[in-house]
């Protein structure tokens, strides 16, 4: 019996967080069927197979090319029944969360979200979940036969040796009720790398003194292939666009490395970054609260340190 993993696409490419979901499902069940909607770029099916899927249900119906929560929930529920899957794994996301909730109702499944580790099956089925914006964890027991897990980003490494996935065209049944809500417009955040999917993030705060100094943040980010972010005061003052605001009321990130430049580290900002695997803080104020949460800290003038750091990285890259 195969687990089912929902793979989200962004411009035809499988999201990193979705590939993590495939690998997670593979670790739990061994056999994984993935389901994805829309056209895929060349090589993406190979990535899904390498991540651990033995089969991909590929939905190419034009009506489902644009994400639709109700229609996707119906299609995924049908796929679970078709494959006999008792486990659905998907990435926690703005799309994944509402889809998972609807699938849980349709299939009478137990659901846990923000899952951070593989399940403990020594006494039933229990998962560890991040709660209170990462300040605590909850151990959740799922007792239903069918289970749905929303995986927190970076909870597991992506496999690269899974093999080749068989591709099967899948045409789920849809009805007018699934399309009562229509997406009329989508505005994509600008930037080469988007915050929610970024593995590396460089953020700036009021310590940069003005928008005219943001070039050094962008240059450092480009040098390491990172997304750029900012603190709430920076976006409030319109130095940077609001979609770059990282924090409790902005974007919550879970990168492998978060570099904070000129950010004091208010609790609202920390709530958005405390799931980062490693935090580097650069600030001239040695009393800045952010240093208490940092894995590494540099006390000094960002206008001197950041350009030198960027130069050193470029020199290392050759």
Question: Is residue 112 part of an annotated ligand binding site?
Answer: no
CB burial of 23-52 (b: ≥16 within 10 Å; e: otherwise) equals bbbbbbbeebbbbbbbebeeebbebbbbbb
Concatenated DSSP letters of 194-219: -GGG-SEEEEE-GGG-SGGGTHHHHH
Question: Is residue 263 part of an annotated ligand binding site?
Answer: yes
Question: Is residue 243 part of an annotated ligand binding site?
Answer: no
- Of 169, 183, 173, residue with least CA distance to 74: 173
Question: Is residue 268 part of an annotated ligand binding site?
Answer: yes
- Of 64, 67, 60, residue with least CA distance to 39: 60
Which tokens hold the place of 283?
């600030």
Start-to-end CA distance of the chain, whole Å, equals: 49
Question: Is residue 269 part of an annotated ligand binding site?
Answer: yes
User: Which three-class secondary structure state does DSSP give residue 7?
Assistant: strand
How far is Cα 110 from Cα 271, in angstroms, rounded to an integer? 27
CB atoms within 10 A of CB 243: 18
- Of 240, 166, 188, residue with least CA distance to 66: 188
Question: Is residue 182 part of an annotated ligand binding site?
Answer: no
Question: Is residue 264 part of an annotated ligand binding site?
Answer: yes
Question: Is residue 266 part of an annotated ligand binding site?
Answer: yes
Concatenated DSSP letters of 260-315: EES----HHHHHHHTT-S-EEEEES-TT-THHHH-SEEEES-HHHHHHHHHHHHHH
> In the chain, where does DSSP find H-type helix?
16-29, 44-51, 69-83, 96-107, 215-224, 232-236, 267-273, 290-293, 302-317
Question: Is residue 158 part of an annotated ligand binding site?
Answer: no
Q: Which residues are annotated as part of the binding site?
A: 206, 262-269, 283
Where is the binding site for FAD, in residues?
A: 206, 262-269, 283
């Amino acid at each position: 019996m195969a687990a089912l993993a929902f793979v989200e696409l962004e411009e035809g490419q499988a999201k990193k967080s979705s590939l993590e979901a495939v690998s997670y499902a593979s670790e739990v069940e061994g056999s994984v069927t993935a389901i994805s909607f829309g056209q895929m770029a060349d090589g993406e099916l190979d990535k899904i197979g390498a991540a651990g899927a033995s089969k991909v249900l590929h939905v190419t119906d034009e009506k489902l090319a644009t994400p639709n929560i109700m229609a996707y929930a119906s299609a995924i529920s049908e796929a679970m029944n078709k494959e006999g899957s008792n486990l659905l794994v998907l990435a926690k996301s703005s799309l994944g969360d509402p889809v998972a909730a609807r699938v849980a109702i349709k299939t009478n499944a137990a659901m846990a979200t923000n899952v951070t580790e593989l399940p403990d099956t020594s006494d039933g089925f229990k998962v560890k979940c991040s709660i209170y914006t990462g300040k605590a964890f909850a151990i959740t027991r799922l007792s239903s036969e069918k289970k749905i897990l929303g995986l927190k980003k970076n909870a597991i490494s992506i496999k690269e040796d899974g093999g080749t996935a068989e591709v099967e065209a899948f045409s789920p049944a849809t009805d007018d009720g699934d399309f009562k809500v229509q997406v009329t417009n989508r505005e994509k955040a600008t930037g080469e790398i988007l915050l929610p999917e970024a593995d590396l993030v460089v953020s700036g705060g009021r310590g940069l003194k003005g928008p005219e100094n943001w070039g050094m943040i962008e240059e450092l980010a480009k040098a390491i292939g990172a997304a750029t972010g900012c603190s709430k005061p920076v976006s409030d003052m319109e130095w940077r666009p609001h979609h770059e605001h990282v924090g409790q009321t902005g974007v919550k990130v879970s990168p492998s490395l978060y570099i904070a430049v000129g950010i004091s580290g208010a609790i609202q900002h920390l709530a958005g970054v405390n799931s980062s695997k490693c935090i580097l803080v650069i600030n001239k104020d040695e009393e800045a609260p952010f240093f208490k949460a940092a894995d590494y800290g540099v006390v000094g003038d960002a206008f001197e340190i950041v350009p030198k750091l960027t130069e050193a990285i470029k020199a290392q890259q050759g």
